[in-house]
Amino acid sequence: MRPRALLGAATARLEAAGVPSPRHDAEELLAHVVGVARGRLFLLDEVGERELAAYDGLLERRALREPLQHLTGEAWFRHVRLEVGPGVFTPRPETELLAGWAIEQAPDGGVLVDLCTGSGAIAKAVADEAPDVEVHAVELDEAAHAYAARNLAGTGVDLRLGDAFTAFDDLLGGVDVVVCNPPYVPLEAWESVAPEARDHDPHLALFSGDDGLDAIRRLAVRAALLLRPGGVLGVEHADVQGEAVPAVLTATGRWSEVRDHTDLAGRARFTTARLAP
């Protein structure tokens, strides 16, 4: 079957199923099946019967809203490839902005801690783009930690299994940057979460109390203990928490220069603050 016709039918199928990016996903899945880069699909003359059957199976799973990254087994985050799948939070493109902020803030020879590392996305990006920074990361969930261990192998990142809000007693008062993409979805928002996340991401990585701020409240306290005076914190949050998260930090009396940042779509996305002297 000709790739152009195949992709057209696949795109329509995914669109009818409510998949947010049907053409992109149809192309990514076909590229995965035939083993070429997505940008080289136009060079294909035909797709064989065996590949067609495999492609049809993946399309069916995507139409049921299984995450694209689970079907391909990988996700790209800034400039690094990550192994992902069931049991680990799939990194989102918007988190790349928080990682970029952390890379800019981390001084050469400084110390950065990535709390709630999940797949290791932020930690790996920092290690890749700021090789002179000492990077530490922690993940509570054993399945997610196993993914992070594979993704961070050979990077020099110190990865630990444990609670983000009690870890790194050995680093207290000596960290330059704390970065965190914590769970922040309110339990009451269950129905509004996209099926790809609600039904496939670990709930430990998504939900955080009735108002979604439980983890961020703990983070505000722990980060203040980890950072040196003048060190900085960056934390991702939901787009409706652009006022609530800065308020959590301000209420502790430990933070200055509290500022919220928007993503490329203009939505509130992450908050930064500096530990007061």
List domains and CATH numbers for the chain. 3-64 (1.10.8.10), 86-275 (3.40.50.150)
What single DSSP character describes residue 43? G
Cα separation, 229 vs 176, in Å, equals 9
Tell me the CA distances in angstroms from 96 to 123, 179, 228, 240, 276, one per residue in order. Answer: 11, 12, 25, 19, 26
Which tokens in the block code for residue 47? 């797709």
**Which residue in the block uniquely carries the two structure tokens 């939901």?**
238
Contact between residue 226 and residue 178 where contact means Cβ atoms under 8 Å apart: yes
pTM summary value: 0.91
- Cβ atoms within 10 A of the Cβ of 87, count? 17
Cα separation, 255 vs 249, in Å, equals 6
* DSSP, residue by residue, 183-248: --B-GGGGGGS-HHHHTTS-GGGTB-SSSS-HHHHHHHHHHHHHEEEEEEEEEE--TT-TTHHHHH
pLDDT at residue 190 in the model: 66
184 annotated to a ligand binding site: yes
Kindly give, in sequence order, each residue whose CB lies less than 8 Å from that of residue 270, ignoring residues fewer than 6 positions away.
97, 98, 101, 234, 235, 236, 237, 260, 261
181 annotated to a ligand binding site: yes
Tell me the CA distances in angstroms from 262 to 96, 204, 240, 258, 266, one per residue in order. Answer: 12, 25, 11, 14, 5
Residues in the chain, pLDDT under 70: 1, 189-191
182 annotated to a ligand binding site: yes
Cα separation, 151 vs 261, in Å, equals 28
Cα separation, 130 vs 116, in Å, equals 20
151 annotated to a ligand binding site: no
**Which residue in the block uniquely carries the two structure tokens 């993940």?**
139
> For strand 74-77 and strand 227-236, is the pairing parallel, antiparallel, or unpaired?
unpaired
Cα separation, 179 vs 100, in Å, equals 11
Which tokens in the block code for residue 142? 């054993």
pLDDT at residue 180 in the model: 98
